[in-house]
């Protein structure tokens, strides 16, 4: 199985350090979300992995080899970097045919990925007639062309309609389930939460997190039970008897950390405490991400490159 290994990778443009001693692995069989604000170095890292930019120091390898050492690389690695890369005056089909020919990929794959991306009916239209969402689909079709075991997608949901968002989510889940290595950058939290298993977070070129998504959220936002009642005194005392600490929130509801609804519901019911609402609330990726950004100077520094 093929993983992407980034080791102490650094890229400087003049005096600006776009990627700063970053080390992480992207493992097969799961979707790794690549998060960070604009200018954090996500796209630069992807270009370095693909051998398009030369690192200042450090290495990025795929299956232990630098990208440039791969023979017919599209058969191993598929990438979407920029939806505008296809020439507007060429048809989608011709664009992919040229790409396929360079790596001796059979022409049948062109029609297969066009169908898979939902572009079969417009395959012979020129790309300049395409919407951003259709160009995005064409870029993804190009990434899948060589049936690669490693897939890198830079902001694939950009410009996609709701149907397209669902499509890309299911596609990413399927690619991971097939045992492929999938790295997807995004700055949309809810979107990333819907498909990622693992997270790599960059801020101003530095690695801020490299953890499973669930751990990332749970470490930063405690799951809790949310309760509303008309008898706050009874609620508090009943829970205190069982060693549970109810905290009153500004909006007038109470929260109990490290608890389960089954437990609290039974307790309160037995004690006859009137309940208006009882829900279990898990932290969201967005909350966890914002918590991280609040604590990291990488995000709050006044000078933020776009």
CA distances from 164 to 95, 161, 167 (A): 21, 5, 5
Phi, psi of 289 (to 5 degrees): -65, -45
Q: Any contact of residue 26 with another protein (CB under 8 A)?
A: no
Size of the site for another protein (CB under 8 A): 34
Q: Any contact of residue 164 with another protein (CB under 8 A)?
A: no
Which tokens in the block code for residue 140?
A: 């993804």
For residues 176 and 29, the answer to whether their CB atoms sit within 8 Å is: yes
Cβ of residue 90: shortest distance to another protein, in angstroms? 5
Binding characters for another protein, 169-208, by CB under 8 A (x = yes): ----------------------------------------
Beta bridge partner(s), residue 201: 35, 209
Q: Any contact of residue 87 with another protein (CB under 8 A)?
A: yes
By CB under 8 A, the residues from 33 to 72 that bind another protein are 47, 50-54, 67-68, 70-72
Q: Single out the residue of 9, 35, 81, 123 in contact with another protein (rule: CB under 8 A).
A: 81
Q: Any contact of residue 99 with another protein (CB under 8 A)?
A: yes
Q: Any contact of residue 28 with another protein (CB under 8 A)?
A: no
Cβ of residue 151: shortest distance to another protein, in angstroms? 12
Using the contact rule CB under 8 A, the part of the chain among 84-92, 162-170, 246-254, 259-267 near another protein is: 84-92
Q: Any contact of residue 107 with another protein (CB under 8 A)?
A: no
Other beta carbons less than 10 A from residue 240's beta carbon: 11
Q: Any contact of residue 222 with another protein (CB under 8 A)?
A: no
DSSP letter (8 states) at residue 91: B
Q: Any contact of residue 104 with another protein (CB under 8 A)?
A: yes
In sequence order, what are the residues at sequence separation of 6 or more whose Cβ sits closer than 8 angstroms to the Cβ of residue 222? 257, 258, 283
Q: Single out the residue of 3, 56, 61, 91 in contact with another protein (rule: CB under 8 A).
A: 91
By CB under 8 A, the residues from 128 to 157 that bind another protein are 142
E-strand ranges in the chain read: 4-13, 16-26, 31-35, 57-62, 77-80, 150-154, 181-186, 198-203, 206-212, 224-229, 246-248, 254-257, 275-281
Q: Any contact of residue 84 with another protein (CB under 8 A)?
A: yes
Which residue blocks in 63-131 are alpha helix, DSSP H?
92-102, 107-116
Q: Any contact of residue 74 with another protein (CB under 8 A)?
A: yes
Rounded Cα distance, 223 and 218, in Å: 7
Q: Single out the residue of 73, 133, 164, 283 in contact with another protein (rule: CB under 8 A).
A: 73
Which tokens in the block code for residue 239?
A: 């829970």
Q: Under the rule (CB under 8 A), what is the footprint of another protein?
A: 47, 50-54, 67-68, 70-74, 77, 79, 81-82, 84-87, 89-91, 94, 97-104, 142
């Amino acid at each position: 199985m093929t993983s992407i290994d980034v080791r102490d990778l650094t890229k400087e443009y003049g005096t600006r350090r776009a990627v700063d001693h970053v080390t992480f692995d992207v493992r097969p069989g799961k979707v790794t979300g690549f998060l960070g604000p604009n200018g954090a170095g996500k796209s630069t890292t992807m270009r370095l992995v693909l051998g398009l930019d030369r690192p200042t120091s450090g290495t990025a390898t795929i299956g232990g080899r630098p990208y440039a050492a791969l023979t017919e690389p599209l058969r191993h690695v598929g990438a979407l970097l920029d939806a505008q890369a296809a020439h507007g005056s060429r048809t989608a089909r011709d664009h992919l045919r040229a790409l396929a020919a360079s790596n001796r990929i059979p022409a049948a794959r062109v029609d297969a990925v066009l169908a898979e991306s939902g572009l079969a009916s417009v395959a012979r239209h020129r790309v300049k007639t395409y919407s951003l969402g259709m160009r995005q689909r064409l870029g993804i079709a190009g990434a899948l062309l060589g049936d690669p075991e490693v897939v890198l997608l830079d902001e694939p949901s950009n410009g996609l309609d709701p149907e397209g968002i669902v499509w890309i989510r299911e596609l990413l889940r399927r690619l991971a389930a097939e045992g492929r290595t999938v790295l997807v950058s995004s700055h949309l939290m809810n979107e990333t939460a819907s498909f990622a298993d693992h997270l790599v977070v960059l801020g101003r070129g530095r690695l801020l997190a490299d953890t499973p998504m669930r751990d990332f959220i749970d470490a930063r936002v405690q799951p809790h039970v949310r309760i509303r009642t008309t008898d706050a005194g009874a609620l508090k005392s009943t829970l205190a008897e069982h060693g549970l600490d109810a905290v009153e929130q500004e909006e007038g509801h109470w929260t109990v950390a490290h608890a389960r609804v089954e437990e609290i519901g039974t307790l309160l019911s037995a004690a006859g405490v009137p309940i208006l609402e009882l829900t279990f609330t898990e932290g969201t990726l967005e909350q966890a991400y914002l918590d991280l950004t609040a604590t990291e100077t990488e995000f709050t520094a006044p000078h933020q490159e776009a």
